[in-house]
Amino acid sequence: MTDPTPTASHFVNGTYFDDANGDELPVVFPATGETIATLNTATQATVDAALDAAQAALPAWRAMTGTERGRILRRAADLLRARNRELSELETLDTGKPLQETLVADAASGADALEYFGGIAAGLTGEHIQLADGDWAYTMREPLGVCVGIGAWNYPTQIACWKAAPALACGNTMVFKPSETTPLCTLKLAEILMEAGLPPGVFNVVQGRGDVGAALVSDTRVAKVSLTGSVPTGRKVYAAAAEQMKHVTMELGGKSPMIVFDDADIDDAVSAAINGNFYSSGQICSNGTRLLVQSGIYESFVERLTRRLTGAVIGDPRDEATNFGPMVSAMQREIVLGYIAKGKAEGARLVAGGDAIEGPGFYMQPTVFADVTDEMTIAREEIFGPVASVFRFEAEDEALSRANNTGFGLAGAVFTRDLARAHRVVAGLEAGTCWINTYNLTPVEMPFGGVKDSGVGRENAKAAIEHYSQLKSVYVAMGSVEAPF
């Protein structure tokens, strides 16, 4: 396994450095509970140094052509791919996710983002607009300035790349704060970007808890904040950003519905339910945690889903045979077990799992509740762990209105062989990202994000460019100026 100890805690202005006055930040390997590295959090001096570096690097970086910027990002994508194993091992140590997953999902997705936005950087242009009397206008697409990225702990490499790649392609610079729980991977990304030729100061990493994030968000040097996190944190960050009219992207939590009709391919639907509830031990924002299943196949679906869980290989995430690892932390496991207790107390039928697994590390069983009803706590609140809830429904209208009966709006899916119904139901879903007959596929070519409480803005695809650039309109007069007097 790769050595998880980073050269230092922070990466500012092209170099690693430590902040001796910062608090200790232990990094715990979720599979054993052991501390594998100790970093320190950023003091205000480090936050200042990072923002100053990002501000100083901005003029030269934005003045480069998109082609030049793109070449650096694409080189970084190649380096990520070439070092996939080392980066995947680090991601596994940081998060506890099985190597079987990280080898294909994390650095690989980050590399896709760097390659995609590296590829379109050269094509970012304004437009020409013909006006009356020979006058005309043009628009210029300008970067926003210094952007702040703040990440959650479930996909540290991917989250940093999904934010940095479009930001940098547009000519912005960035200061990124990873989650305190998973601080290691983003440092490697900074190192690789430098190796690819990124000028110092364009991408900086500072470690810390929520207070460091808050200091970044409220700083006047910052033009934009992109957060991946929970809805309560999103509300705080959005409000703080609004004080200074900053741009925001908010990628927040979800309680997404997966609607399975009687005519669906039931094995596909069960496979999707497994991917959409138990991959990464269920710690995925867009998971389809409300499985709405039509009554004709309800019992069969519950039985097949439960049976398939016996195929989970729970073990050391460093073993490539393992396909179900620990939760990220003891605290997150406690939160999830609390929800399971509420599910039982409120009358849901526990059909699989439900318990913590004894021994070192933060393991728990993949869990399924059946006969869940809409008013139960487990039906309404985001659990963010390996807990699936199955609901019974009779009619299409009923399924749609119950699916939408939530403040969240991140994702949703429909499983049916009826093409017209699939599109009709998806059109009615109040969700930013939807799938038909599959779940949780998020290629960089497709915009990703939520509506309602689940977020503002979009990541990935051409849509992300709108959230990391602004237009300047220029009116060009070709004749003389007339005035009334």
Q: Is 249 in the site for ligand NDP (CB under 6 A)?
A: no
Residue 369 pairs with which residues in a beta bridge? 350, 389
Piece of the chain touching ligand NDP by CB under 6 A; list 128-136, 223-231, 317-325, 463-471: 223-231
Neighbours of 107 (CB within 10 A): 30
Residue in 228, 249, 280, 294 binding ligand NDP, rule: CB under 6 A? 228
Least distance CB 263 / ligand NDP (angstroms): 31
Give Cα separations from 219 to 50, 160, 225 (angstroms): 12, 20, 11
* 53-82 binders of ligand NDP (CB under 6 A): none
Least distance CB 126 / ligand NDP (angstroms): 29
Residue in 115, 382, 430, 453 binding ligand NDP, rule: CB under 6 A? 382
Residue in 2, 230, 377, 437 binding ligand NDP, rule: CB under 6 A? 230
Instruction: Judge residue 58's burial from the number of C-beta atoms within 10 Å of its C-beta, 0-12 exposed, 13-18 middle, 19 or more buried.
Output: buried
3-state secondary structure of 298: helix
What gap in Å lies between CA 353 and CA 341, rounded to an integer?
A: 12
What gap in Å lies between CA 369 and CA 389, rounded to an integer?
A: 5
Binding track over 180-199 against ligand NDP, x by CB under 6 A: xx------------------
Cβ nearer to ligand NDP, comparing 171 with 282: 282
Residue in 71, 236, 344, 462 binding ligand NDP, rule: CB under 6 A? 236
Piece of the chain touching ligand NDP by CB under 6 A; list 164-172, 193-201, 206-214, 310-318: 206-214
DSSP3 helix / strand / coil % (the chain, rounded to 5): 40, 20, 35
Contact 112, 444 (CB under 8 A): yes
Contact 289, 389 (CB under 8 A): yes
Q: Is 431 in the site for ligand NDP (CB under 6 A)?
A: no
Piece of the chain touching ligand NDP by CB under 6 A; list 88-96, 108-116, 144-152, 313-321: 144-152
Residue 257: φ, ψ to 5°: -90, 140
Q: What is the 3-state secondary structure (H, E, C) of 165-218?
A: HHHHHCCCEEEEECCCCCCHHHHHHHHHHHHCCCCCCCEEECCCCHHHHHHHHC
Q: Is 152 in the site for ligand NDP (CB under 6 A)?
A: yes
Residues contacting ligand NDP: total by CB under 6 A: 30
Q: For residue 17, what is the DSSP state?
A: E
Binding track over 434-473 against ligand NDP, x by CB under 6 A: ----------------x----x------------------
Q: Which residue has the tokens 């039982």?
A: 344
Q: Is residue 251 flagged as an active site residue?
A: yes
Q: Is 176 in the site for ligand NDP (CB under 6 A)?
A: no
Cβ nearer to ligand NDP, comparing 97 with 141: 97
The H-or-E segment that residue 137 falls in is: strand 136-143
Per CB under 6 A, residues contacting ligand NDP are: 150-154, 177, 179-181, 209-210, 213-214, 217, 228-230, 233, 236-237, 251-254, 285, 382, 384, 410, 450, 455
Catalytic residue numbers, as ranges: 251
